Amino acid sequence: MELRHLRYFCALADFGTFSKASQHLHISQSAISEQIADLEQEIGGALLDRSQRRTRLTPQGLMFLAEARRTLLASERAIDLTRRSLKGELGTLSIGFFPWGTRGFFARIIREYRRLCPQVRLSLYEMHASVQMEALTSGKIDIGFTRPLEAPFSRTLRAELLYRDPVVVALPSDHPLAGRSLDIAALAGEPFVMCDRTMTPVLFDNILALCTTAGYSPRIVNTTSTWSGVLTLVESGEGIAMVPSGARTLRTRGVAFAELKPTTLYTGISVAWNPSNENPIQADFLRLVMANKERIHRTGGN
């Protein structure tokens, strides 16, 4: 039994005669008759009462008709869902992000994507940038809004830089330098609080290099594994810190921020993915991000 047997049978039931069914299906009456006969032979009984001019269904034919319609609807749904999945309109997408890094553009893109692809189920995971690298590699997430790729992940993953986040100085709000634009040399005598190098190796090294260029090595008095932890230590009076400007969204009452002049130190925000796991849904989402890239860059992520 094939789907065409069911289609022919349903058409005959709908139109009542072999001639009208053949016109609707654009095939000969004899072809329909042969297929219905094959169907009855396979089932082992009559589905049609052929004793009258207008074809009528036997009780068994009526029972078969209901099930045939369900089967055809299920097959059409399977085809439709598969086609939509191939187009990236249906399925799942897992995205990693860290809130203070993604800023306003992330929420805007998520809302737009939900509007464009309402049948795609989104799973959003708050993750540190370093954790996202492992998650992309393992397939736990499909997309990551994270820092620019570093070795060894830069060899297997792909990323596109969205914008550069300038590094600013976080100080206790009652610090004498609070509220001023600062040259890096002005921080030479200050105790520094840093985010652990294991979490942000490139930025950690760039901060040290910037201070070295200004003629001093920073006196690091404490480190912590998160930027929120860094700001808590600054608020506690442990020292000053150089942080991505996006960390301002984590600010507490006792912390002030100052721009570095000239601004020469940045950390990037990128969208990253694993090319080994590419699929139409991922590709559609990336196209939306790239379409917004210029705006994201121009507004600094807002």
Q: Which residues pair with 41 in a beta bridge?
A: none
Q: What is the CATH number of domain 164-267?
A: 3.40.190.10
Would you say 85 and 91 are in contact if contact means Cβ atoms under 8 Å apart?
yes
Note the pTM of the prediction, 2 decimals. 0.66
pLDDT of residue 220: 96
The Cα–Cα gap between 22 and 37 comes to 15
The Cα–Cα gap between 210 and 193 comes to 15
- What's the mean pLDDT in 183-202? 91
* Run of H or E including 271: strand 266-273
Domain boundaries, the chain: 3-86, 91-162+269-299, 164-267
Would you say 93 and 282 are in contact if contact means Cβ atoms under 8 Å apart?
yes
- Both tokens of residue 281? 């849904």
- What's the mean pLDDT in 89-105? 80
How big is the chain, counted in residues?
Answer: 302
Domain 91-162+269-299 has CATH 3.40.190.10: yes
The Cα–Cα gap between 78 and 66 comes to 19
The Cα–Cα gap between 106 and 127 comes to 14
Cβ-Cβ contacts under 8 Å for 119 (sequence gap 6 or more): 84, 89, 90
39-71, pLDDT tens digit by residue?
Answer: 888 888 888 877 766 678 888 878 888 888 888
CA dihedral (209, 215, 219, 223) in degrees, to 10, reads -10
Q: Exposure pattern of 33-63 as b/e (b: 16+ CB <10 Å)?
A: bebbeebbeeeeeebbeeeeeebebeeebee
Q: Could you say which DSSP state residue 260 is in? A: B
- Distance linking the first and last C-alpha atoms of the chain: 59
Q: Give yes or no on whether 91-162+269-299 and 164-267 have one common fold.
A: yes
- What's the mean pLDDT in 153-162? 92
- What's the mean pLDDT in 247-271? 86
- What's the mean pLDDT in 167-174? 93
135-156, pLDDT tens digit by residue?
Answer: 999 999 999 999 888 888 889 9
Pairing of strands 255-259, 219-224: unpaired
Q: What is the CATH number of domain 3-86?
A: 1.10.10.10
Does position 87 have pLDDT exceeding 70, yes or no? no
CA distances from 57 to 2, 12, 301 (A): 20, 10, 66
The Cα–Cα gap between 198 and 219 comes to 18
Does position 260 have pLDDT exceeding 80, yes or no? yes
